[in-house]
Chain A
């Protein structure tokens, strides 16, 4: 499903050059649930962003499904993200000025769907994460766990084949974290969604199919 070959990422600022990823190669199968661990600053987010086509590697090649990605235009990349990838972030990244339902609809705005269809799909996605009773709330009126469930609903509303989750439980206590983890496991098992999850929690990682460890930009396991 996702194939990374010799990915290298160098960040250049005026004064320093950071080698964030050093020759990382990864093959992720369709339907796999992969977790990524490693100390802070080792390049986990960078790896996820590159997989999600939010960032370009300095060197190396990414294939998603049967598609090579290096020659895609900005518009094609956007469409690709819209159709195939759902993102979940540690800090949720909800838009506070939009109601829960409108936040969930967001990916569908960039597809040609009617308002009614969007509403229906968003409603279903919220049902899946157990938030049907919070559609008219604003994000600021929700708890952290609820916010992350909204973010998950937003990630799955467009039925992507891949979900990329960057420390989805990082801001939550263990009970809430487990709730979120259960939803992700269910998505993987029932819908066959491929999931890549960055985590600091060994217990969470244990529940996934495979664990990749990074250290200073290199894959060590």
Chain B
């Protein structure tokens, strides 16, 4: 019977061409949507790698009237001490603007051996940064005051992902990394790895883990950007936040803004979900259209083929046989569309088009295949049942 169905599909290839194209396009769209969904889901499942509860970030414009580096250092220290001395504060760290869940990024390109031009995020940190975010070390150590004495190389802590990109399975601690960023200067060996931290998903729940490199903050940097990560005690409330804000703006002399990382995460997640939501809406409309079209065509075919249905009943098909045949024909067309579609879909992992893991594509492909089969089945079942109910004598009557 399956051969018979393929024979019919082949002999009617002209009439079936549009239907197959429709199923093919739906498959490709669903493949794209599922790829996005699987990618997001995999990211979502990956652990955050740090704690953001009760972490606030204070953002300010550094005062412009302090002109020398020395006096800026004093200002910076007394500001830090003031915040640290508040009873609701556990730990603080000055940092660059790319705090977790912020829109701001800061990156460079590094190389080691044959692994050239690897883009990585760079985070300016202090000794307490690790404690504030409860970062976990995979190997080596975090910064101490001893690292402030400048040697030939700048000490850095890298994350596990960057370690893999640069060193693969080999050891990282003590290795020297080259910075490639600036075109004017010849690239130079610049950083020495002192530790490897576990990956930090600092761009939200749905963001892929990225390469990361932590360096000790330098005061020069501090004059351009003002960001303090503050780990507060659970009892820190709005009243405290008000007092903190006031104390900071008195000390700095400019306006300041305090945000909570958990709130920032929420808005960052929403932003990440927007493209997925748009894709889902577009795909949803398309699928509804395709489903209606499919249903209509199948319905129309059944009415056009009443004589054939009657004949099949006359030569021995039961109502159930007729119904099975019509559903089977639709599934055969879907199979042809899916074979063509799969041929195109597998090019994505083979050519590594978007640099996603192959597993994401394969899962998405299977989901899309399943989806199209279910869609076609759903659209064919009712017309098929109607066809089964056609009275054979009546069907033969129609020409």
| Option from B8, B12, B311, B391 in Cβ contact (under 8 Å) with A93 | B311
- Among the 9-residue stretches A24-32, A108-116, A172-180, A197-205, the one with 4 or more Cβ atoms under 8 Å from chain B is A108-116
Q: Do B318 and A78 touch across chains, with their CB atoms under 8 A apart?
A: yes
A10 within 8 A of B: no
Q: Do A107 and B7 touch across chains, with their CB atoms under 8 A apart?
A: no
Q: Do A95 and B311 touch across chains, with their CB atoms under 8 A apart?
A: yes
Q: Do B317 and A78 touch across chains, with their CB atoms under 8 A apart?
A: yes
A49 to B1 CA separation, bound complex (whole angstroms): 27
- With A97-B12, A98-B7, A98-B11: A55-B391 Cβ-Cβ less than 8 Å: yes
Q: How large is the interface on B (under 10, 10 to 19, 20 to 34, 35 or more residues)?
A: 20 to 34
B45 within 8 A of A: no
A14 within 8 A of B: no
A154 within 8 A of B: yes
What residue in chain A is nearest B305 (Cβ atoms)?
Answer: A95
Q: Do A110 and B316 touch across chains, with their CB atoms under 8 A apart?
A: yes
Q: Do B393 and A49 touch across chains, with their CB atoms under 8 A apart?
A: yes
A82 to B311 CA separation, bound complex (whole angstroms): 11
What residue in chain A is nearest B320 (Cβ atoms)?
Answer: A75
A75 to B318 CA separation, bound complex (whole angstroms): 5
| Option from A75, A79, A87 in Cβ contact (under 8 Å) with B314 | A87
B42, chain A: closest CB distance, angstroms: 46
Q: Do A95 and B316 touch across chains, with their CB atoms under 8 A apart?
A: no
B149 within 8 A of A: no
CB-defined contacts of A98 to chain B, threshold 8 Å = 7-8, 11
- The A-contacting residues of B in range 27-46, CB under 8 angstroms, are none
A143 to B393 CA separation, bound complex (whole angstroms): 26
Q: Do B315 and A74 touch across chains, with their CB atoms under 8 A apart?
A: no
| Chain A positions 103 through 145: 1 when the CB is less than 8 Å from some CB of chain B, otherwise 0 | 0001101110001000000000000000000000010000000
| Chain B positions 132 through 173: 1 when the CB is less than 8 Å from some CB of chain A, otherwise 0 | 000000000000000000000000000000000000000000
| Option from B7, B314, B399 in Cβ contact (under 8 Å) with A54 | B314
Q: Do B316 and A78 touch across chains, with their CB atoms under 8 A apart?
A: yes
A83 to B316 CA separation, bound complex (whole angstroms): 8
Q: Do B11 and A97 touch across chains, with their CB atoms under 8 A apart?
A: yes
CB-defined contacts of A138 to chain B, threshold 8 Å = 11
- The A-contacting residues of B in range 278-313, CB under 8 angstroms, are 307-308, 310-313
Q: Do B399 and A95 touch across chains, with their CB atoms under 8 A apart?
A: no
- With A93-B307, A115-B3: A107-B316 Cβ-Cβ less than 8 Å: yes
CB-defined contacts of A79 to chain B, threshold 8 Å = 316, 318
A102 to B7 CA separation, bound complex (whole angstroms): 9
Q: Do B312 and A106 touch across chains, with their CB atoms under 8 A apart?
A: yes
B384 within 8 A of A: no
Q: Do A111 and B8 touch across chains, with their CB atoms under 8 A apart?
A: no
CB-defined contacts of A219 to chain B, threshold 8 Å = none
Q: Do A55 and B393 touch across chains, with their CB atoms under 8 A apart?
A: yes
CB-defined contacts of A3 to chain B, threshold 8 Å = none
A33 within 8 A of B: no
What residue in chain B is nearest A49 (Cβ atoms)?
Answer: B393
B321 within 8 A of A: yes
CB-defined contacts of B392 to chain A, threshold 8 Å = 54-55
A72, chain B: closest CB distance, angstroms: 11
- The B-contacting residues of A in range 16-68, CB under 8 angstroms, are 49, 52, 54-55
B89 within 8 A of A: no
Q: A79-B318, A107-B315 are in contact. List 6 more A-B contacts (CB 8 A).
A: A52-B314, A75-B318, A81-B313, A98-B11, A102-B7, A110-B321
| B interface residues with partner A (beta carbon < 8 Å) | 1, 3-4, 7-8, 11-12, 307-308, 310-321, 391-393, 396, 399
Could you list 19 A-B pairs, sorted by A, with CB under 8 Å? A49-B393, A49-B396, A74-B318, A78-B316, A78-B317, A78-B321, A79-B318, A81-B313, A81-B316, A82-B316, A87-B315, A93-B310, A95-B308, A97-B8, A97-B11, A106-B315, A107-B315, A110-B316, A158-B315
| A interface residues with partner B (beta carbon < 8 Å) | 49, 52, 54-55, 74-75, 77-79, 81-83, 87, 89, 91, 93, 95, 97-99, 102, 106-107, 109-111, 115, 138, 154, 158
Which 6 A/B pairs are nearest by Cβ-Cβ distance? A82-B316, A78-B318, A110-B316, A55-B393, A107-B315, A49-B393
